[in-house]
Structure 1
Amino acid sequence: MGDPVCVSVLALDPVLEAGAVAALRSCPDLAVVLPDEPGRVTVVIVDAVGPQELDLVRATRNATERPEVVLVATELTPADALHAIAAGARGLLRRREAGAERLARTVLAAAGGDCMVPPEMLARLLEQNADGVATGTRGAGGPGLSTRERAVLRLVADGRETGEIAQELSYSARTVVSVMHDITHRFRLRNRAHAVAYALRAGLL
């Protein structure tokens, strides 16, 4: 077993911060550090997801250590989720669903480079993009996704790891990695989270 993943918590409410810290400390694979200490993941806890909160996600993501960001919000709509992913969040949770086990799982997924959103929200994200436009509408002649790419990207959006995706779709892990590389290269995207946000916003899923 490797070293624990260092994670910090950033919340305006000290009670919420204390609760999140206690939950994270219950996972042996995580080590909680102070907000100003280097860590691989930062859990940001907010009430609503507005411009200020999105700026906070960006600022946290762009800190010196460039930690992955898991955003926990009291209210989280599909549009909020898209904007948060586009701002750099690697994991999303509603506060009422952020129990110790689920929060730890989301943090570990973020540390491993995967993007995780609430499963029941994924279907809604696939039905509409952040502007409320039904997916499936593309610009004339715009590039799309193949059936295989769409299947892989849907599972990435669901927070699945490469091995899990390969098993689910009966592909090799190498094929899954190749598919994601092709998507990010073709659309000039930074990473998996950016690929999911772009595909949902552009109506490619």
Structure 2
Amino acid sequence: MVTRSVEAQAVREPGAVISVAVHAGDPVSGEGAVACLRSTPGITVLPRDRRCEADVLLVTVHQTTEDVICWMERAANESTNPEMRIVLVAETISECHLMRAVTSGLVAFLPREEADRERVVKAIRDNGRDRGLVPEQMVGWLLEQVRMIQRTVLVPNGLTAGGLQDREVEVLRLLADGLDTVEIAQQLNYSERTIKNIVSGMLTRLNLRNRSHAVAYAMRCGAL
């Protein structure tokens, strides 16, 4: 099965030790995965009671059932590590389960027949290098979901892919050009109070620290 790299969200310092927690569908698979990872430089295996601290959850099961997806969602909600990501090894995964898994932090899916030691370790390490891995067919599923969200949610509500409203993008574009509040208000024919409210609402809604952070965010998500 052909696989392609896809962008992930977490970036870790080169050479940093990656902490991994293992969740397996059967004891034999779990013990084998733990033994494999414990002998791998740069990776430390956490006990079950410290799962919430892990950088990566390695989930190895035969079938990606509803129970497995629900477990992954609980694990993501209980995690105390904001950069926690999931590597899943299974025979297959359905399209609807894939989307829920990605929402929970999935960055790599390995079919069981391809999941040798080298591939599993690479998937775990690539998580810290802004890279993920899924089969080619699943990349198509994800892209179609993005297009559907764009058509049915973002465009009808005047939002960009980064959740920015059209007039917020206009304000950010002028901020990026170096204009201040007064100049932006004049340029857009708004009151200064309106400009301040637009910026304040955007910072609060998207949890951005300041105007510079907002401009950087807009550039990263392709709005500018």
TM range (shorter): 0.5 to 0.7
| Structure 2: distance between partners of 1:2 and 1:140 | 40
Which structure 2 residues correspond to residues 38-187 of structure 1 after superposition, within 5 A? 38-66=53-81, 67-112=84-129, 114=130, 116-125=132-141, 128-129=144-145, 138-139=151-152, 142=155, 181-182=220-221
In structure 2, give the amino acid aligned to 1:65.
T
> What whole-Å deviation, never above 9, does each CA across 1:67-101 have from its counterpart, x for those lacking one?
32222222223443222102332322222222112
Paired residue type of 1:118: V
Distance 1:10 1:140 in 2: 35
Deviation of 1:64 after TM superposition, in Å, equals: 4.3
Deviation at 1:31, TM superposition (A): 1.6
SS in 2 for 1:9: strand
CA distance in 1, matches of 2:94, 2:44: 30
> Which amino acid in structure 2 is aligned with residue 97 of structure 1?
E
Shift of 1:16: 0.8
CA distance in 2, matches of 1:89, 1:119: 13
The Cα offsets for residues 18-70 of structure 1, whole Å up to 9 and x where unpaired, read as 22223323431212222223422121222322332111111112224333222
Within the candidate set 7, 27, 51, 1:14 is matched to 27
Q: Secondary structure at the match of 2:59?
A: strand
1:126 and 1:135 in contact (8 A); partners too: no
Mark the runs of 5 or more structure 2 residues left unpaired by the alignment: 1-13, 162-215
In 1, Cα distance between equivalents of 2:218 and 2:120:
28
Which residue in the other structure is 1:35 paired with?
48
User: More displaced, 92-101 or 7-16?
Assistant: 92-101
Aligned residues: 149
TM-score by length of 1: 0.57
Q: What are the ranges of 5 or more consecutive residues in structure 1 without an aligned counterpart?
A: 146-176, 187-205
The answer to whether the Cα contact below 8 Å between 2:91 and 2:112 also exists between their aligned partners in 1 is yes
In the alignment, which residue of structure 1 is the partner of 2:188? Answer: none
Report the Cα distance in structure 1 between the residues aligned to 2:24 and 2:121, rounded to whole angstroms.
17
Distance 1:119 1:17, change over 3 A: same
Higher helix share goes to which structure? 2
CA contact (8 A) 1:6 1:33 kept: yes
Tell me the TM-score normalized by structure 2: 0.53
One-letter amino acid of the counterpart of residue 85, structure 1: V
Q: Report the structure number with the largest CA radius of gyration.
A: 2
Q: SS at 1:138's partner residue? A: helix
Partners of 1:64 and 1:29 lie apart in 2 by 21
CA deviations on 1:169-191 (whole Å, 9 max, x unpaired) are xxxxxxxx9777325xx6xxxxx
Give the direction of change, closer, same or farther, for the CA distance of 1:180–1:8 in structure 2 (3 Å limit).
farther
